[in-house]
Chains A and B, each alone.
Chain A
Amino acid sequence: MKLTIEEVEHIAALARLELTEDEKQRYAEQLSDILDYAARLDELATDQIPPTASVLDMQLRLREDQSRPGLSQEEVLRNAADTQDKQFKVPPVFGGQE
């Protein structure tokens, strides 16, 4: 199979990645090659095989619902590109694409 440039653009939008025209070309080819390679999995009949999401046979663990100390607000904000009034600051949510 061969991914089209439109498909690559769609995937890039889902992944929130701005790609150059050159990157779109390259990824169309490389992803197609990798997916072709992955198609060899179809050689195996797996209708009766359960999927493995985790290799460990374990139960989900719950903890007591008790408050406990965490990071300070200052520590949480320290790595942010922009903050204001002890909050993360972001550009306008509306007005662009989608």
Chain B
Amino acid sequence: MTDLTQLTVRDSLAGLRAGDFSSVELTRALLQRIDSLDPEIHAFLTLTPDSALAAAQAADDLRASRPADLPPLTGLPLAVKDVLCLKGVRTTCGSKILENFIPPFTATAVQRLVDAGVVPLGKTNTDEFAMGSSTENSAYGTSRNPWDISRVPGGSSGGSAAAVAARMTPAAFGTDTGGSVRQPCSFCGTTGIKPTYGRTSRYGLVAYGSSLDTVGMIARNVADVATLFQYMAGFDPLDATSVQLPVPDYTLPETDSLKGLRIGVPEEYFIEGIQPEVEKRVRSAIAQMEAQGATAVPIHLPHTEYALPVYYLIAPAEASANLARYDGIRFGPRLGEGEDLWHMFTETRGRLFGPEVKRRIMLGTYALSAGYYDAYYGKAQKVRTLIKRDFDLAFEEVDVIAAPVAPTTAFKFGQHTDDPLAMYLEDVFTLPANLAGVPGLAFPVGPDSKGMPVGMQLMGPHFCEDLLFQVGHAYQLATQWHERWPEVTNQA
């Protein structure tokens, strides 16, 4: 019998439909693989085997009783990043301050897939409150890269990307505020979408940087991501920044032709300091797309270098406001209550937030404080306008922009933990898309000399996820890099 854990989303759905296996069998196979491999990878923070098997059984019963009008994803197992609320299941955000938080509601993006029939397997590891690029900021230990367990899986959706790469789940939710879907996809060799800001609902996503946060999806290939994104996306009255636009049909044409496509190649993304093999792989992927009929056009996004300082003022400023709600009153453990309210606030927050979260709260508080607002936060918002204009101008010339996701492949544990700025530099190529609000699709384009995956991202105009999917799918029809998977064995 086929090893069910090796199946993609589309093959899993086809097998379920054909009756080749049941959702219970598929779910059980994945749970067994998680049991065997997760002690090594640590992709999951919370597993829900009982409710997963119950949901799988319910899916199988539904299929048996009314096969005619089944929800489209009936019985498909999937993992959820632990910054997205799932009713009744512990949601920690990788933080001690939400150690025992059981949300009374489910995030809209997750609920939509649950309504479409998916079976949640559990919650995946993340840097605390999605602040980080390696999962080293999780209060519950790091996840490990399935390609090389001495290396980070990327972050903050590192647990989700590692789980997909290790074939513990066919797909997993991620979130992307500054690269947190795309960078772990690059490091783990998975495919993921960071949607246009406003395309997916933020309701039930624990807020980090509210003008930047997006909910995305990670899977093994573009077709799988598009299949799931179809049901996640769309307007939600519960999110005030959700956009009232129809969601197009993301069904992909089965052609590898890219004839007529104009691909912008921004010079500013091929800078000194980038790992030479990353540049080589990305450039050869662009050459491959040219061979499929596309035209590559050198372009400029002149304000790229300013994205990093802009992001690290705006995101912490928004975070400092969003994280003010963790006060030991409505959720989370409480410390220092022997004295008075002030000590309860400061001790609870001071001792239960981790170092990176406190660093960003401090930075954001400073950037917003009296006397510094105009110089830092106000200035950053103006430069954000310039970064957005760079993209607006570029998309008058080209259809999509192709660039590396990150300057390097996955780095070793501890390599950047003592130097916050060095860690922030890992995000240098992913931040601009968040600041401009444009969508980004990350996928593997071959290994470096050590066998670690290199990721490329395609960025497009607002709400053009469909175009990114078409281009990415055409590339994957012509190439096999997305079919390269790590051999993971339990060495523990």
A contacts, CB < 8 Å to B: 8, 11-19, 23, 27, 30-31, 33-35, 37-38, 40-42, 44, 46, 49-56, 58, 60-61, 63, 71, 75-76, 78-82, 88, 90-98
Q: A16-B346, A37-B421, A54-B211 are in contact. Are A91 and B363 (CB under 8 A)?
A: no
In the complex, chain A residues whose CB is within 8 Å of the CB of B194 = none
- Closest A-chain residue to B336, C-beta based? A18
- Closest B-chain residue to A48, C-beta based? B382
B219-253 interface bits toward A, Cβ cutoff 8 Å, 1 = contact, 0 = none: 00000000000000000010011010000000000
A to B CB contacts below 8 Å, 16 in the list: A16-B349, A17-B350, A18-B349, A34-B363, A37-B312, A38-B309, A38-B376, A41-B306, A41-B309, A41-B310, A44-B383, A46-B382, A46-B386, A79-B102, A80-B331, A95-B340
Flag whether B313 is at the interface (Cβ < 8 A): yes
Q: A34-B420, A88-B329 are in contact. Are A15 and B386 (CB under 8 A)?
A: no
B120 vs chain A, min Cβ distance (A): 20
C-alpha spacing A15/B350, complex, angstroms: 10
Q: Which of B5-13, B59-67, B354-362, B396-404 contacts A (4 or more CB under 8 A)?
A: B354-362
B contacts, CB < 8 Å to A: 100-102, 104-105, 197-198, 211, 237, 240-241, 243, 303, 305-306, 308-310, 312-313, 320, 324, 327-334, 336-347, 349-351, 353, 355, 358-359, 361-363, 365-366, 369, 376, 378-386, 388, 420-421, 424, 435-437, 462
In the complex, chain B residues whose CB is within 8 Å of the CB of A75 = 104
In the complex, chain B residues whose CB is within 8 Å of the CB of A23 = 355, 358
**When the two chains form their complex, are residues B383 and A96 in contact, meaning their CB atoms are under 8 A apart?**
no
A13 vs chain B, min Cβ distance (A): 8
Contacts A37-B309, A37-B312, A49-B383 known; list 9 others, CB within 8 Å: A23-B358, A33-B420, A35-B366, A52-B385, A53-B381, A56-B241, A56-B462, A90-B344, A91-B339
**When the two chains form their complex, are residues A96 and B339 in contact, meaning their CB atoms are under 8 A apart?**
yes
**When the two chains form their complex, are residues B379 and A46 in contact, meaning their CB atoms are under 8 A apart?**
yes
In the complex, chain A residues whose CB is within 8 Å of the CB of B359 = 27, 30-31
C-alpha spacing A8/B241, complex, angstroms: 34
C-alpha spacing A80/B344, complex, angstroms: 14
In the complex, chain B residues whose CB is within 8 Å of the CB of A60 = 240
Q: A78-B102, A93-B341, A97-B342 are in contact. Are A40 and B306 (CB under 8 A)?
A: yes
Q: A17-B361, A61-B240, A96-B340 are in contact. Are A82 and B320 (CB under 8 A)?
A: no
In the complex, chain A residues whose CB is within 8 Å of the CB of B363 = 31, 34-35
- Closest A-chain residue to B101, C-beta based? A79
In the complex, chain B residues whose CB is within 8 Å of the CB of A16 = 324, 327, 342, 345-346, 349
C-alpha spacing A79/B385, complex, angstroms: 40
- Closest A-chain residue to B308, C-beta based? A37
C-alpha spacing A6/B436, complex, angstroms: 36
**When the two chains form their complex, are residues B358 and A81 in contact, meaning their CB atoms are under 8 A apart?**
no
A67 vs chain B, min Cβ distance (A): 15
Q: A31-B366, A49-B385, A55-B436 are in contact. Are A17 and B353 (CB under 8 A)?
A: yes
Q: A18-B349, A38-B312 are in contact. Are A49 and B362 (CB under 8 A)?
A: no
**When the two chains form their complex, are residues B358 and A19 in contact, meaning their CB atoms are under 8 A apart?**
yes
A1 vs chain B, min Cβ distance (A): 11
In the complex, chain A residues whose CB is within 8 Å of the CB of B346 = 12-13, 16-18
In the complex, chain B residues whose CB is within 8 Å of the CB of A88 = 329-330
B30 vs chain A, min Cβ distance (A): 30
Q: A38-B309, A90-B341, A96-B341 are in contact. Are A44 and B365 (CB under 8 A)?
A: no
A89 vs chain B, min Cβ distance (A): 9
**When the two chains form their complex, are residues B309 and A40 in contact, meaning their CB atoms are under 8 A apart?**
yes
Q: For B385, give its contact among A51, A81, A94 (CB under 8 Å).
A: A51
Q: A31-B359, A44-B306 are in contact. Are A54 and B340 (CB under 8 A)?
A: no
**When the two chains form their complex, are residues B211 and A55 in contact, meaning their CB atoms are under 8 A apart?**
yes
**When the two chains form their complex, are residues A15 and B342 in contact, meaning their CB atoms are under 8 A apart?**
no
C-alpha spacing A91/B359, complex, angstroms: 27
In the complex, chain B residues whose CB is within 8 Å of the CB of A13 = 346
C-alpha spacing A80/B236, complex, angstroms: 28
Q: A79-B330, A95-B340 are in contact. Are A55 and B349 (CB under 8 A)?
A: no
- Closest A-chain residue to B333, C-beta based? A81
Q: A18-B350, A38-B376 are in contact. Are A71 and B104 (CB under 8 A)?
A: yes
**When the two chains form their complex, are residues B197 and A56 in contact, meaning their CB atoms are under 8 A apart?**
yes
- Closest A-chain residue to B351, C-beta based? A18
**When the two chains form their complex, are residues A38 and B329 in contact, meaning their CB atoms are under 8 A apart?**
no
In the complex, chain A residues whose CB is within 8 Å of the CB of B436 = 55
**When the two chains form their complex, are residues B385 and A11 in contact, meaning their CB atoms are under 8 A apart?**
no
**When the two chains form their complex, are residues A56 and B437 in contact, meaning their CB atoms are under 8 A apart?**
yes
**When the two chains form their complex, are residues A76 and B104 in contact, meaning their CB atoms are under 8 A apart?**
yes
Q: For B382, give its contact among A14, A51, A58, A63 (CB under 8 Å).
A: A51
Most B C-beta atoms less than 10 A away, residue of A15, A42, A75, A96: A15
**When the two chains form their complex, are residues B362 and A8 in contact, meaning their CB atoms are under 8 A apart?**
yes
**When the two chains form their complex, are residues A18 and B347 in contact, meaning their CB atoms are under 8 A apart?**
yes
**When the two chains form their complex, are residues A14 and B329 in contact, meaning their CB atoms are under 8 A apart?**
no
In the complex, chain A residues whose CB is within 8 Å of the CB of B344 = 90-91
B329 vs chain A, min Cβ distance (A): 5
C-alpha spacing A16/B195, complex, angstroms: 34
**When the two chains form their complex, are residues B334 and A82 in contact, meaning their CB atoms are under 8 A apart?**
yes
- Closest A-chain residue to B337, C-beta based? A91
- Closest A-chain residue to B368, C-beta based? A14
Q: For B329, give its contact among A18, A54, A55, A80 (CB under 8 Å).
A: A80
**When the two chains form their complex, are residues B361 and A41 in contact, meaning their CB atoms are under 8 A apart?**
no
